[in-house]
Chains A and B, each alone.
Chain A
Amino acid sequence: MAKTKNAPIKPHSARNHNAAPLSLVDTTSDKKATIGLEYMTYEQLEEFGEELNAVRQRVLDDLGQKDADYIRRVIKAQKASEVLGRIGIFMPFFPPVFIAGILFLGLAKILDNMEIGHNVMHGQYDWMNDPMVDASRYEWDNIAPAKDWKHGHNYIHHTYTNIHGMDRDIGYNMFRIDEDQPWYASHRFNLPLAFILMLVFEWGIMYHGVELDQYLQGKITKEDFQGRKKRALKKIRKQVFKDYVAWPALGLALVPFVGWWAPVAILVANIVANVIRNVWSFIIIFCGHFPAEVQTFAEEDAQNETRGQWYLRQLLGSANITGHKPFHVLTGNLSYQVEHHLFPDIPARRYPEVAEDVKRLVEKYGLQYNTGRLSKQVASVIRQLAKLGHKPDDPYKIGNSPESKALRRAKREAEAARREEAARAPQLTS
């Protein structure tokens, strides 16, 4: 990001404006990115990009009333489910209704976060010009503030998908989930820590968005960090007050009829509903990028990539989950993670039809399309977490081993030398 900022702004004609990806620009060299060369030539990559652009355009041209009706139907279902859930948990004296209430509330939160929140905040429905589904205004029923989540997810994760050192979603700074990540002693606890994160996942997303680690490494400014902290605290206050104070407090009205435990039961119901949503979103999200066959990339290989290469990186860096239609709705169609990463801003209900085209292209170019049943993908993620938690034999893979420290130092020095060399050479800018 900082790199593109330095690039001079050249006003150019609006005609034939080439909006080729600026995702990773190497200011010192115009060497083409090497992503995808094992599958196809540069010409084919170009053609691949064009074909996917055409798929995107075809869907965009077709957006209309049916897409608007769909998202409104989902919103209606979400609101109905929420209201039913809130009513249900006010009857702790009648267990079947109480439990149904918890489930409805969990369902409401899942719909709000996945099919509505995630997708709306990607701008998938901005074309409707309806404030209720406007990406810049939507705030979701989740501890993480929308603004910081959109930065970390829409921008960082979706632009630098699966690039080591750029995509902070690889292992969420906590887990070793890929061979190319250095191993540290804390990774021995990969599996138990993942289990705990699963239960409190919304708090994890919020913490991820505060970017304390980035601040401590000097990668973001103090003002930036303070802003994130402030927004997070404000959102925490609102969410905690609503779920754990205000609604249980309304339950005080039940005390004379039911007993002192009524507000407590309502509090517990809210906690359980949040945990249901956390477990579900954790599973879907981990299955989207962490199964074994998903590929990751090095920063050097992705610099100066073309639109086709960007598409290819998204394709190879994501994994789908197969299932029936209600399942896809509950995942926010993130079960079509590949299609979502290729086209993050087209309405998610279009991913199944887009998948047909993607599969055709995958076949045409002999590529890999990562997909499988939920059980298969979950098992693969668990295996990865378990396997990669073990201390590797290769000393270069151990983060704090003398060998890997020396390797990193050598890399840093070579990079510095290269930059100096490039700075001394006469500027060859086009």
Chain B
Amino acid sequence: MDGHGLVERLRRVVGDRWLLLDEHDLRTYESDGLLQYQQVPRLAVLPGTGDEVRECVAACAAAGVPWVARGAGSGLSGGALPIKDGVLIVLSRLNRILEVDLDNGRICVEPGVTNAAVSAAVAPDFFYPPDPSSQIVCTIGGNVAENSGGAHCFKYGFTTNYVTGLEVVLADGEQVTIGGKALDTPGYDLLGAFVGSEGTLGVATKIWLRVVPVPEATRTLVAFFDSTRQAGEAVSAIVQAGIVPGAIEMMDATTIRATEEMAHAGYPVGRGAALLVELDGAEAECDAQFAQVTAICAEQGSDDVRVSRDEAERQLFWKTRKAAFPAMGRISPNYFVQDGVVPRTTLPDVLVRIDELAAEYGLVVANVFHAGDGNLHPLVCFDAAVEGQAARAEELAGRILDVCLEAGGSITGEHGVGVDKRKHMGKMFAEADLAAFQRLRCAFDPDGQANPGKVMPTPRLCGEVPGVYRQHPLEAAGLAERF
């Protein structure tokens, strides 16, 4: 790579201080939030402005060297995993809030601004709804790349519903502005195509977002049930009544036990499921619907419905929910977080199926998830010290995805495909579907320099002629259907 003077060119762009060549410094970046994959990059640059990003990408393009953009590195699918002989472009220095325009409900930020900082910048009257649990550290650039969501997605939508404009550096070093501050820029919705593209279509260097007024009222309850089936049916009944809660989160028995040990919220250890329901919106409507939700939980078999009496208690409910991942460390030395989605009505059956699989593998699977949109996060527990257990756990995690697909769902609801789920893409999509994805990829990055090796199951070249559709074995077996 030095043959083209790349290192010198990058040094001229960012200066010595922000060019990392030393193995020791580079170790910081060897993985993202998914620790199973590690790779030290050849070098890392930390540009300080969008123009510097453009120059860095142009330098890589001239040298024919692939690169990976990195935000906070909190991704859970290995999306920011470096390439051995590639450049890592770290965006943490692009952390300025460029404009706040509340009359138009907009904020313009650089990609390295954290998700939480966006809401803070428009508080107290406005907020930015997509709220991944990692919001204190994850960056807006990473959110755009992953189309991140959070507990509030069911009602408020995802990152893609809030991005109105992007300044993007394409793999050839061109800088373009897609969309803008206003909605409906005429032409193809390249914005919609870019959001969720996992860093494979370019680097976002400036981002315009919609923000919305903070709801007038919030009402929160936790209801306990004997089984996840009962709780799942309560979720369906609530939604069927025409109520769209701000959040509906479910925890199973294992999770209740683990979180109670840590958060001490007084949750009844031994119960089969806890359902956290939060309504928000106009005060009057919120109150009317909250009474309905409380009644529905009782009808569906909950004899223990706890309504938060004040903000402190509401925070405790949420703290308990958010403690679920860290708490699992107390009952198991290691665990994988899976991220699959199923149609909400299939939740009760899918949860039973996951229990059966866990028994078959002799492992514990705890479930805590966004029940409103059927986004499961099974925590597959294992002990890495026991020979072969990690491999079995990984296999089980994969089997759970098969269950999600059989139920008509998806292999990822918010963590992305990255390197981790490439191998599962062929189960969800047929060859012609993948070929259509490749057409988009090639339009943006014909030389495949932006985050190669992620998302697509097998490396492809842009010269290849996409094939026509052939029936997938899963379809032939009647397991999957093209709608």
Indicate whether A and B interact: no
**Which B residues form the contact surface with A (CB < 8 A)?**
none
